[in-house]
Structures are given as C-alpha cells and as structure tokens.
Amino acid sequence: MRRVSRRVEIRGLGLGGGEPLRVQGMTKTDTRHPQATLDQIRALEVVGAEIVRLAIPDLESAHALAELRPHTASPLVADIHFDHTLALAALEAGADKIRINPGNIPDRRRLQEVAEAAKQRGVPIRIGVNSGSVPMRLVREHHGANAQALVAAAQETAALFESWGFSDIVISLKSSSVLETIEANQLLAQTVPYPIHLGVTAAGPLLESAVRSSLALGPLLMQGIGDTIRVSITGDPCREAEVAWEILRSLGLRQRGPMVVSCPTCARSHHPALEQLVERVKTRLRQADVLAPVTVAIMGCEVNGPGEAREADIGLALGKTGAHLFRKGRVVRRVSLEQAEEALLTEIEQSLAEDASAE
C-alpha cells in the first residue's frame, strides 16, 4: 500500500497525496546558455521527464530562467547551493520549485527569506539532503553522515519552514550507498507527512547507476515510499528518465510506451544479431513516438520463444526457417527471418491503431 503524503503542487502538477509517481530529469548544459538548455529540456520531455531541474550556480544562470520559462510547459526546478540570493533571483525569474540543501545554507535568516519569497509566489521547496553535505554538528551527534543524520537534517529544516508558515515542502535524502539510502527514506517516511523525492546521489555511469538506483529505489517503491524519482547518471540526461521509467514500469507502478522483453541469446538462437535487432526495434518505436503501454517480446528460439511471445501484446518468436508473429496470445502469421523486423513493426502499428479506434 502506498504511503499517503501531503499533496504539493508544482506548476499545476501534483506531487504526493495519491498523485502518480513523477519522473524528474536534470539538464547537464550550462544554464547560462538558454538555447542549449531548452534543447535539452525538450529532449527530456520526449523521453518522459515530467519535471526538469536546472543547476543555478550564479546570477546569470538564475536570470536565464526568465528566458526559458515562456518556451516550455515543464515545471522547472532551480537547484540552489551555498547562496540564498540565487534562490531569490530564480523565484523572480519564474522558477516553479526551489531545491535547497540545508547543509550549505546554514543561516536561518537567509532560509527564511527564501521561504517567505516562495510562499508569496506559491512555489514549493525541496529540502534536499545529501550524505556529502550533512551539517557537521549532526555528523558528530549521530557518529557519521548516516541515515539518522540525514533524517535529522531534513526534520530540523522542515520544522523551521513550518514555523515560518511554509508547508509546501518536498524532502529528499540521498546517499551514494544503496543501503543507507533505503534506511534513511524508511525512517523519513515514518516521521514526516511530506512528499518524498527518491534518488541515489553520485550513482555513477549508466550501468552502475541503473543497478544502484534499481536496488535502492525498488525496495522503497515496493513499500509504498516515494512520490517522485530521479535516476542520477554520469552521462546523457535522457537515459536518466528512461531508466526511471523502466524502474516504475517493471514494478507495475506506471506505464509509458512500449516495454520490450527479449531473450539473452545462446547457441540455440536463430538470429545472428538479436541484440542489434532489439535495439533497432526500440529505436524505431521511440522515433515513431509510440507512447501506448504495449509489451513487445522478441525471442530467439523455440524453447521459451513461443511462450514468452504469446504472453506479450505483440510477440516475435524466431525459428530455424522463419518467425511466428503473435498478437494477444495467438499466432497471426508466419514470416521469413529476413522479413521479421518489418513485420513486427507493422503488427505493432496495426494493433495500436485498432486499439485506438476501438476506444
């Protein structure tokens, strides 16, 4: 059962309070260059990022938000560290949400200025605590930058915000440790009513991040913890959103676009380049902007092929001399191995068109 949190709204998009789990991405461009940043925002939108965070390291970056805001409908989050005046400038420029780190803005008067400015504009604030920036006082008190210290830092800051009459709060507790991330968010979920943003900080390049993020976020999401997620990857930000969606889709929490399942291949495989075939199909489905939640199976031999293909919405089972196409559990036609790719894509297109016309 999913944890019920307080609902927060960011540019009309609900977080928590029973709203769908939201996928967030973060631009990697220099925010001072609006066109390059806008191009990346649009690329993130294509792959399903519903909220986009931007680093605001200086005033020029904060002012650039004013140029970006009219050209995208996506909620834009200003990521602020060290200097509270950057948060104030970002709010003035049209930021839809502010992320602050209490570990590097320790002055309460400055935090209060941000809270009051955000309240005036109806803009929520995410209190984002990372294991690398826990206040040293709490590190000493809890004998390390551990789960207890992360929770304490978030609780203290949230209590301050509430005392100033500000309650549109989202909290994130992130560590590069999978187990620490799980423990911290489990503790947090028991003690605060706010929406929780999930992620693993400094998770590494694609493979490492996909594994670590899945291991950390999966158990939390299965316990009903989490209202929005971001997968942190050293590399293309679009892959972050793709991995995030795959995590949610694999857990049956949200669906978006085709889910492709395929066999790992072995000596029984009847296609010499099944991996390349799978990647081509995925690319062409993405280019065709297929968003319907359809399951596509691509299987290389007769052992598990027909069974897996039969269980998918659309399936391709390769044999020694040809391939069988399945739709909704039954064989619809047999094609040659050379025709298999085009036949599969045609079958997907026809199936989706028929489903759409039947609605």
Sheet holding 330-335, edge to edge: 259-262, 295-299, 314-318, 323-327, 330-335
Q: What is the CATH number of the domain that holds 264?
A: 3.30.413.10
Number of Cβ atoms within 10 Å of the Cβ of 1: 5
Q: Indicate if 293 and 168 belong to the same structural domain.
A: no
Residue 3 lies in a domain: no
- Segment 134-137 long-range contacts (CB within 8 Å, at least 24 positions apart): 134/103, 135/102, 135/103, 135/106
Q: Indicate if 29 and 143 belong to the same structural domain.
A: yes
- pLDDT in tens for each of the 359 residues of the chain? 899 999 999 999 999 999 999 999 999 999 999 999 999 999 999 999 999 999 999 999 999 999 999 999 999 999 999 999 999 999 999 999 999 998 899 899 999 999 999 999 999 999 999 988 898 899 999 999 999 999 999 999 999 999 999 999 999 999 999 999 999 999 999 999 999 999 999 999 999 999 999 999 999 999 999 999 999 999 999 999 999 999 999 999 999 888 999 988 888 887 778 899 999 999 888 888 888 888 999 998 877 777 887 888 999 999 888 999 999 889 999 999 899 999 999 999 888 888 777 76
Q: Indicate if 217 and 326 belong to the same structural domain.
A: no
Q: Indicate if 209 and 91 belong to the same structural domain.
A: yes
Strands 314-318 and 169-174: unpaired
Tokens of 257: 């676009």
Residue 1 lies in a domain: no
Residue at which a domain ends, from 219, 250, 281: 250
Q: Indicate if 86 and 217 belong to the same structural domain.
A: yes
Q: Say how many domains are in the chain.
A: 2
pLDDT at 115: 97
Whole domain around residue 222: which residue ranges?
Answer: 8-250
Residue 316 lies in a domain: yes
Residue 124 lies in a domain: yes
Q: Indicate if 226 and 268 belong to the same structural domain.
A: no
pLDDT at 238: 96
Residue at which a domain ends, from 250, 282, 317: 250
Q: What is the CATH number of the domain that holds 55?
A: 3.20.20.20
Q: Indicate if 67 and 199 belong to the same structural domain.
A: yes
Q: Indicate if 286 and 148 belong to the same structural domain.
A: no
3-state SS, one letter per residue, for the chain: CCCCCCCEEECCEEECCCCCCEEEEECCCCCCCHHHHHHHHHHHHHCCCCEEEEECCCHHHHHHHHHHHHHCCCCEEEECCCCHHHHHHHHHHCCCEEEECCCCCCCHHHHHHHHHHHHHHCCCEEEEEEHHHCCHHHHHHCCCCCHHHHHHHHHHHHHHHHHCCCCCEEEEEECCCHHHHHHHHHHHHHHCCCCEEECCCCCCCHHHHHHHHHHHHHHHHHCCCCCEECCCCCCCHHHHHHHHHHHHHHCCCCCCCCEEEECCCCCCCCCCCHHHHHHHHHHHHHHCCCCCCCEEEEECCCCCHHHHHHHCCEEEEECCCCEEEEECCEEEEEECCCCHHHHHHHHHHHHHHHHHHHC
Residue 276 lies in a domain: yes
Q: Indicate if 242 and 267 belong to the same structural domain.
A: no
Q: Indicate if 237 and 110 belong to the same structural domain.
A: yes
Q: Nearest to residue 97, comparing CAs of 110, 80, 82?
A: 80
Q: Indicate if 268 and 313 belong to the same structural domain.
A: yes
Residue 237 lies in a domain: yes
Residue at which a domain ends, from 230, 250, 270: 250
Residue 266 lies in a domain: yes
Helix axes 59-68, 34-46, angle to 10 degrees: 60
Residue 274 lies in a domain: yes
**For the chain, what's the residue count?**
359
CA distance 330 to 31: 51
Q: Indicate if 301 and 266 belong to the same structural domain.
A: yes
